[in-house]
Structure 1
Amino acid sequence: MPLNHTDQMHILKDILSNQQTDCCGTVAECEQMERLIKSLMINTDIDHNVKSVLQDIYSYSQNGKYTQSLDNHIDNHRTELTQWINDIDSFS
């Protein structure tokens, strides 16, 4: 059963929240975020403002996937993680 965009946003928020709280993550999480965001970006039901936030998160996940230290990458983006989580909450 495919996930609707609300479910996808919840999963994305959960991954971001876990990374923000734990200050660590995995390449698989970055890849999962990329897949979710690609699906959300083509969805016409998604608000334009959300898509801007999704583009930022996509860049973050791509950079994280290829960084030498994902934990440092996450730690360096804690402020953005908090903001993205808040943004997702405001659009949900």
Structure 2
Amino acid sequence: MNYHHQLQLLVDILHNQQDENYGSHDEFEQMEHLISNMLENNEVPDEVKAALMSLEQFSYQHDKEGMQSNFTSTEIQQYLRKLENFVSK
């Protein structure tokens, strides 16, 4: 799976969380795994990696600190805009 596919999967997870106003532990774990893989991938541009690091902090905060449902649609939308821009390139 190349990083474009991984980005699309990340976008799909975020859309699901936005629709449900909730992110499960498994979803955050999957996000963290995808992000970690992409951060280690030399093919991923630095601009994408910067967005991923921000999303990684969001994911960690909401999963590890037990805040799975404590986020807003606006918060998710900012990540979706960034990632969807990279997916469409």
Q: What is the TM-score normalised by the length of structure 1?
A: 0.85
Residues 6-58 of structure 1: CA distance to partner in whole angstroms, max 9, x if unpaired?
Answer: 11111101111111121012011101000000000111111211111100110
Paired position in structure 2 for 1:46: 44
Paired position in structure 2 for 1:83: 78
Q: Which runs of 5+ in 1 are unaligned?
A: none
Superposition misfits of 4+ residues, deviation over 4 angstroms:
none
RMSD of the TM alignment (CA)?
Answer: 1.3
In percent, how many aligned pairs have the same letter?
31
1:9-88 pair list within 5 angstroms: 9-72=7-70, 74-75=71-72, 78-88=73-83
How many positions carry a matched residue from both structures? Answer: 87
Secondary structure, counterpart of 1:70 in structure 2? coil
Cα distance in 2, alignment partners of residues 45 and 21 from structure 1: 31
